[in-house]
Amino acid sequence: MREFLVGGYSIAVLISILCLYLILRQRPGEGQKAVQTLTSFICILVTGYWLSITATTLDGMVIAQKVIYAGGCYVYFYMLLFYLNFCRIRIPRLVSELLQAFSFCMLLIAFTFDHHKLLYRSYSMVEAGGVPVLEKEYGIAHHAYVVMMACYCVAFIVLAVRFYRNNQMERRRKQSLILLLVALCPTASYILQKTVVKIDLVPFGLCISLALTIYLIYVERIYDVTGLAKDYVFSSMDDTALIVIDSDQYYKGSNDLAKELFPVLRTASAIERLETLSQLLDDVKTDEDGFLLIEGRLYEPKVKKVQNRGKTVGSVIWISDVTVEREHVRFVNNYQKKLEHDVKEKTLHIEQLQQKIVLGMANIIENRDASTGGHIRRTSDVVSILIDAIRKDGQLGLSDEFCTTIVRTAPLHDIGKIAVEDRILKKPGKYTPEEFEMMKSHTTKGAQIIPSMLRDVTDENTLRIACNIAKYHHEKWNGLGYPEHLKGEAIPIEARIMAVADVYDALVSERCYKEAMSFDQAYEIIMESMGSHFDPGLEKYFVQCRSQLEDYYTYADRRLKAAEA
């Protein structure tokens, strides 16, 4: 009998080693690691049984028993991990740590059982049918070990039933049942050994479990697809170089493209520290945008942290080939710049065309109204001076575009005079009440003329500002102006600014019916009218611009006299 068991256990050891070799050939992944560890502990367990059957002394039996427990304490834990991975179930971290702690405690007790009575109260070497065995009186720790095995078996059965009920694929159901046999075979052989056959059958049950595991992996192909996919992606990336380092900058591996781009990695060992990995990149030329330039292609380096349970354990350096993307970006940017340049040119051309139309229309009015010589040009310049002060101050919150549009459309403030009869427009004296009413109509008529003439050559915002200036530049802050008697801030801000420029020019300019006032007189009149005729909020800007306005009119007067001479 002994020779038979020695031969059988020897075959079991060889089978376990062969299975371990076959499983180690698999690509490492979450599930594969569990199977590899499980198979390793089974090898240890079967080896322990072989040592027990070949032992000839009590000390040899004790050592063999310790080896058996060294494997047996962890076999069921890793069987559970393998099963959970197959079912795609994650157990809480605390539960996993408690199970490992229990297995470790059992291992410590087993390794020291010859110094206490927790595992065996007593033991001795005897022969049974010519086979040396260790006769034992079990202690509380052994009973706990048996309870542990029973709990694991119940867990396997519960998982199998749950998976079988929740999964409709026959193939997956079949795999689940085979996996259940993998888990229960050692227990079944242990029970059979205790109840029917008085020899250790556990090694044979373990060999059956290993054979079924090999069948599942090589025939049923229950791979850890996630791990395989990660490994495949890592090795097959043709346009991205990947370099893996740990938290201490030690080189851990790289894909083929990384070794092609950085030949030093071909000879770098897994324990070699890459001194500040940036050295690898410092020697590489870069383009104007900071991208790596290697053999005529552009690469973008990125560092991504690798974390495990919230702690950074390393990094992956991604060096991606972005040549095509950068060429596309450059093409788009160049096209965008050209497009922007063309748009600016077209916009400038349109603005110049608009301004020519505006000035042309204003000149028509000026030529008809002999009493306003230079009025349109001068008021436009006065508006520009006031707007500059308002823009620099910034308190009124007027945008640059709004301010520019006011200056550009100021020449149209009297465009409505084109619809006023010559007998009134060119009258040298004062108007009668009836004539004044007709003259006042130039405000509303101007607001009607501007849209009909400019709608197709300008935008809505410019039209609105131009119409407001033309229609409301004779309104007064106190509501006594015309044509609608608007009051206060109901008057558009552009019309309020135009009103100051219009009246100031009328005061300091010579007309056919009056002499030009002095600058001091005009200043006093404007200041006294702040809050009644004019917006008091414009007072500070008028004061700031006083000397500039006076210099402007002095220069304009000299230029006019020089032209007459």
Q: How far apart are CA 364 and CA 79, in angstroms?
A: 100
pLDDT surpassing 60 at residue 373: no
How far is residue 527 from each of residues 489, 499, 500, 506, measured CA to CA in Å? 19, 13, 10, 15
Q: 3-class secondary structure for 186-203? A: HHHHHHHHHHCCCCCCHH
Higher-confidence residue: 565 or 66?
Answer: 66
Mean pLDDT calculated for residue range 350-362: 65
Report the pLDDT value the prediction gives residue 377, as an integer from 0 to 100. Answer: 83
Higher-confidence residue: 528 or 239?
Answer: 528
**Four-CA torsion 528, 532, 536, 542, nearest 10 degrees:** -50
Classify each residue of 139-178 as buried b or exposed e, where b means 16 or more C-beta atoms within 10 Å of its C-beta.
Answer: bebbeebeebeeebbebbeebbeebeeeeeeeebeebbeb
Q: How far apart are CA 562 and CA 565, in angstroms?
A: 5
Of the candidate ranges 14-18, 353-357, 379-383, 447-451, the one whose mean pLDDT is the lowest: 353-357
Report the pLDDT value the prediction gives residue 276, as an integer from 0 to 100. Answer: 47
Contact 316, 254 (CB under 8 A): no
Report the pLDDT value the prediction gives residue 168, as an integer from 0 to 100. Answer: 74
pLDDT surpassing 60 at residue 370: no
Report the pLDDT value the prediction gives residue 483, as an integer from 0 to 100. Answer: 94
Residue 135: phi and psi, rounded to 5, are -85, 125
In 207-342, at which residue ranges do the beta strands (DSSP E only) sit? 240-246, 251-254, 285-286, 292-294, 297-308, 311-321
* Among the listed residues 85, 73, 217, 216, the one whose alpha carbon sits nearest the alpha carbon of residue 159: 85
For the residues of 158-169, what is the DSSP string, one character each?
HHHHHHHHH---
The highest-confidence range among 106-120, 263-277, 328-342, 532-546, by mean pLDDT, is: 532-546
Of the candidate ranges 114-118, 212-216, 414-418, 467-471, the one whose mean pLDDT is the lowest: 212-216
The string of pLDDT tens digits covering residues 82-114 is 888 777 788 888 888 899 899 999 989 988 988
* Among the listed residues 270, 279, 327, the one whose alpha carbon sits nearest the alpha carbon of residue 301: 279
CATH code, 338-564: 1.10.3210.10
Cβ burial, residue 29 (10 Å; 0-12/13-18/19+): buried
Report the pLDDT value the prediction gives residue 105, as an integer from 0 to 100. Answer: 92
Mean pLDDT calculated for residue range 288-302: 79
Classify each residue of 61-90 as buried b or exposed e, where b means 16 or more C-beta atoms within 10 Å of its C-beta.
Answer: bbbbbbbbbbbbbbbbbbbbbbbbbbbeee
Tell me if 2-223 shares its fold with 237-321.
no
Report the pLDDT value the prediction gives residue 453, as an integer from 0 to 100. Answer: 78
Report the pLDDT value the prediction gives residue 179, as an integer from 0 to 100. Answer: 81
The rounded percent of the chain whose pLDDT value lies above 90 is 21
Report the pLDDT value the prediction gives residue 243, as an integer from 0 to 100. Answer: 81
Contact 70, 47 (CB under 8 A): no
Contact 52, 15 (CB under 8 A): no
Q: Are strands 120-128 and 131-138 parallel, antiparallel or unpaired?
A: antiparallel
pLDDT surpassing 50 at residue 281: yes
Q: How does the average pLDDT of the chain come out, rounded?
A: 81
Cβ burial, residue 246 (10 Å; 0-12/13-18/19+): middle
Measured from the Cβ of residue 479, the count of other Cβ atoms closer than 10 Å reads 14
Please count the CA atoms within 13 angstroms of the CA of 188 that sit on its side-chain side.
12
Contact 466, 412 (CB under 8 A): yes
Tokens of 15: 């089978």
The rounded percent of the chain whose pLDDT value lies above 70 is 84
Of the candidate ranges 55-64, 388-397, 527-536, the one whose mean pLDDT is the lowest: 55-64
The string of pLDDT tens digits covering residues 308-340 is 767 887 888 888 888 888 788 778 888 888 888
Tokens of 391: 């823009």
302 forms beta bridges with: 318
Report the pLDDT value the prediction gives residue 91, as an integer from 0 to 100. Answer: 82
The string of pLDDT tens digits covering residues 455-508 is 776 788 889 999 999 999 999 999 999 999 999 999 999 999 999 999 999 899
Of the candidate ranges 32-41, 149-158, 274-283, 389-398, the one whose mean pLDDT is the lowest: 274-283
Report the pLDDT value the prediction gives residue 249, as an integer from 0 to 100. Answer: 72
Q: Under CATH, which architecture does the 2-223 domain have? A: Up-down Bundle (1.20)
pLDDT surpassing 70 at residue 30: no
The string of pLDDT tens digits covering residues 241-270 is 888 887 777 777 788 888 888 777 777 654
- pLDDT category at 232 given cuts 50, 70, 90 is low
Options 3.30.390.50, 3.30.450.20, 2.160.10.10, 3.40.50.300; CATH for 237-321 is 3.30.450.20
Contact 466, 357 (CB under 8 A): no
320 forms beta bridges with: 240, 300
pLDDT surpassing 90 at residue 233: no
Report the pLDDT value the prediction gives residue 19, as an integer from 0 to 100. Answer: 80
Residue spans of the domains in the chain: they are 2-223, 237-321, 338-564
Q: Indicate the SS3 state at residue 497.
A: helix
Of the candidate ranges 287-301, 396-410, 445-459, the one whose mean pLDDT is the lowest: 287-301
Q: Are strands 285-286 and 251-254 parallel, antiparallel or unpaired?
A: unpaired
Report the pLDDT value the prediction gives residue 563, as an integer from 0 to 100. Answer: 46
pLDDT surpassing 70 at residue 349: no
pLDDT surpassing 60 at residue 372: no
